[in-house]
Chain A
Amino acid sequence: MGEQLEKTPLNKVHHELKARMMDFAGWDLPVWYTSILEEHKTVRSAAGIFDVSDMGRVWVSGKKAGVFLDRVLTRRVSKLEIGLSELCLLCLEDGGVLDDLWAYRLTADRYLIVWNAAHIEEKLAWLRRWAGSDPDIVIQDRSAATAMVAVQGPAVCRLQNLKGVCQLPRFGHSQTTIENMEVFASRTGYTGEDGFEIIAEVANARQLWESFTKQGVKPCGLGARDSLRLEAGMMLCGQDMDKTTNPFEADLGWLVEIDSGDFVGKSALLEIKRRGIRRKLVGFRMTGQGQGIARSGYKIARSGREVGQVTSGGYAPTLNANIGFGYVPIELARIGTKIDIMIRNKPVPAEVVHKQFYKRGG
């Protein structure tokens, strides 16, 4: 292990901080620096910083950029206000989910998309296939030329170097400067807290990182990234949904603007909607305390019969409970339904609950 893994521009910083590293989608990334629980709690109570450079950053520009994105995404991003962003899906023709991504409208004819680290080549090829050789659609993958950090937590707007962007609305974005570095900042994140995601040129990665850590912002790894998003009810593509899942069963129907325009996957999705779904992704909370943690891949059972599978699961530090997501038959998807999670061949009771386990200020 080690040689073949990709390294983000902050890789050296993580090793200097003696982070516990792991292979995540082919990247050498930190799981934790001091402790997942500590990092998780810091983001819920103060501020933490994550290296999210593994995610892909692709600029789409040209006179037909909006028309093109409207066609390949499940939402009409050309209707998005300049300066705002939204979560969208990239669906295959059969309605399967290739990825979820954030689309930012930068100018009338220029957009940025940020997507997950996995299957970047496949996704780029997919975009290029639909763009064809149209000179009015320019797709530029600048992932390797840039670094990206997420600064998350209720204290972010007390940080000196974020003063300039704290007037941004939720999902808003702008170019700004931090310590004389030109960066792109958006009020987005994957933790359920207030926060920003910031993109800088590779050469500025370390200075950007340290501009936060020297103010006491705590470095946080993938472990906390996972437990925070799980508590906040946010899904991870490739784990909670993928090419074999449609958006409706993944409870992502709200990201599909089915009644507007024509887009890749629309006819399949209309048909799926007409027929109705048979299974659904739900949130669950273990009611059998002290009997183990549900983890991805564990079976879900009901009255001794296997009915589904856990896709994400873990310990929720803020709730002090064991929680997860999983697919169950539609008739078992109602809030309050009792199910069992099979942990080491023993059924451990759980209950279907609202997927957003944690709500800021709630």
Chain B
Amino acid sequence: MTPKDYKFTSEHEWIYAESGSKGKVGLADYAQSKLGDIVFLDLPTPGTQVTQGKKMGEVESVKAVSDIFSPASGKVLEVNQTVVAEPKLVNEDPYGAGWLVRVELSKPSELNKLMDNARYDEFVAELTEKQSE
């Protein structure tokens, strides 16, 4: 089950609004399971402006490279250095210790465009169904 109060993109990033104007960003469980063992993260440095739906970084697993899209617009406040040093945390704890960056939101209302956890669970279930057909 995906955590309550998290919001999701269709590209499988999540954001959790910690206060009105700050959000923590990460990759959803589905993304990490599709990628397999994650061994490298290329994340924006603090101070970088990111835009909702635009590429903000890259994640590499043993097998593949994938873009990370920002779930919201704003300025990067902090990068999770623990996960940069130990990318497998994204596999092990995608909604907790595996978070990627903290963002100062410039348009908090943007989050309304994202899926809530229930809607996202349905979205993933549909994807999984399609793939097993």
Asked whether A and B interact, the reply is yes
Check: A295 CB closer than 8 A to any chain B CB.
Answer: yes
Check: A227 CB closer than 8 A to any chain B CB.
Answer: yes
> In the complex, which of the residues B36, B65, B84 contacts A295, with contact meaning CB atoms closer than 8 Å?
B65
Chain B contacts for A290, CB-based, 8 A: 40, 84
A35 touches B40 (CB 8 A): no
A35 touches B37 (CB 8 A): yes
Alpha-carbon distance between A223 and B62 when the two chains are bound, in angstroms: 8
Give me 18 A-to-B residue pairs in the complex whose CB atoms sit less than 8 angstroms apart, sorted by A's number: A31-B36, A32-B36, A32-B63, A36-B36, A36-B61, A36-B63, A290-B40, A290-B84, A292-B40, A292-B42, A292-B60, A293-B39, A293-B40, A293-B60, A293-B65, A295-B65, A315-B40, A315-B62
Check: B122 CB closer than 8 A to any chain A CB.
Answer: no
| Nearest CB of chain B from residue A358's CB, rounded to whole Å | 16
Beyond the given pairs A36-B61, A292-B58, 10 more chain A to chain B contacts, judged by CB atoms under 8 angstroms and listed by A's residue number, are A31-B63, A35-B37, A36-B36, A227-B62, A290-B84, A292-B40, A292-B60, A293-B39, A293-B40, A315-B40
Chain B contacts for A37, CB-based, 8 A: 37, 62
Chain A contacts for B63, CB-based, 8 A: 31-32, 36, 223
Chain B, range 7-66, C-beta contacts under 8 Å to A: 36-37, 39-40, 42, 58, 60-63, 65
The total of chain B residues at the interface (CB under 8 A) is 12
Check: A275 CB closer than 8 A to any chain B CB.
Answer: no
| Nearest CB of chain A from residue B85's CB, rounded to whole Å | 8
| Nearest CB of chain A from residue B68's CB, rounded to whole Å | 13
Chain B contacts for A32, CB-based, 8 A: 36, 63
Chain B, range 70-112, C-beta contacts under 8 Å to A: 84
Question: Contact string, A289-305, partner B, CB cutoff 8 A, digits 1/0?
Answer: 01011010000000000
> In the complex, which of the residues B36, B40, B58, B84 contacts A20, with contact meaning CB atoms closer than 8 Å?
B36
Chain A, range 257-304, C-beta contacts under 8 Å to B: 290, 292-293, 295
A223 touches B42 (CB 8 A): no
Chain B contacts for A317, CB-based, 8 A: 62
Question: Contact string, A132-158, partner B, CB cutoff 8 A, digits 1/0?
Answer: 000000000000000000000000000
Alpha-carbon distance between A37 and B40 when the two chains are bound, in angstroms: 14
B36 touches A223 (CB 8 A): yes
The 4 closest A-B pairs by CB, nearest first: A36-B62, A37-B37, A315-B39, A35-B37
Check: A344 CB closer than 8 A to any chain B CB.
Answer: yes
Chain A, range 6-36, C-beta contacts under 8 Å to B: 20, 31-32, 35-36
Alpha-carbon distance between A293 and B61 when the two chains are bound, in angstroms: 9
Chain A, range 316-336, C-beta contacts under 8 Å to B: 317
B39, B58, B63 pick with most chain A CB within 10 angstroms: B63
A36 touches B58 (CB 8 A): no
Question: Contact string, A324-362, partner B, CB cutoff 8 A, digits 1/0?
Answer: 000000000000000000001000000000000000000
Alpha-carbon distance between A227 and B61 when the two chains are bound, in angstroms: 12
Check: A314 CB closer than 8 A to any chain B CB.
Answer: yes
> In the complex, which of the residues B42, B58, B62 contacts A314, with contact meaning CB atoms closer than 8 Å?
B62
A35 touches B36 (CB 8 A): yes
Chain B contacts for A223, CB-based, 8 A: 36, 62-63
Chain A, range 223-271, C-beta contacts under 8 Å to B: 223, 227
Chain A contacts for B37, CB-based, 8 A: 35-37
Chain A contacts for B40, CB-based, 8 A: 290, 292-293, 315
Closest to A223 in B: B63
Alpha-carbon distance between A35 and B88 when the two chains are bound, in angstroms: 11
Chain B contacts for A295, CB-based, 8 A: 65
Chain B contacts for A227, CB-based, 8 A: 62
Alpha-carbon distance between A37 and B37 when the two chains are bound, in angstroms: 7
Alpha-carbon distance between A20 and B60 when the two chains are bound, in angstroms: 17
Chain A contacts for B58, CB-based, 8 A: 292, 344
| Nearest CB of chain B from residue A137's CB, rounded to whole Å | 42
| Nearest CB of chain A from residue B130's CB, rounded to whole Å | 11
Alpha-carbon distance between A315 and B42 when the two chains are bound, in angstroms: 15
Chain A contacts for B84, CB-based, 8 A: 290
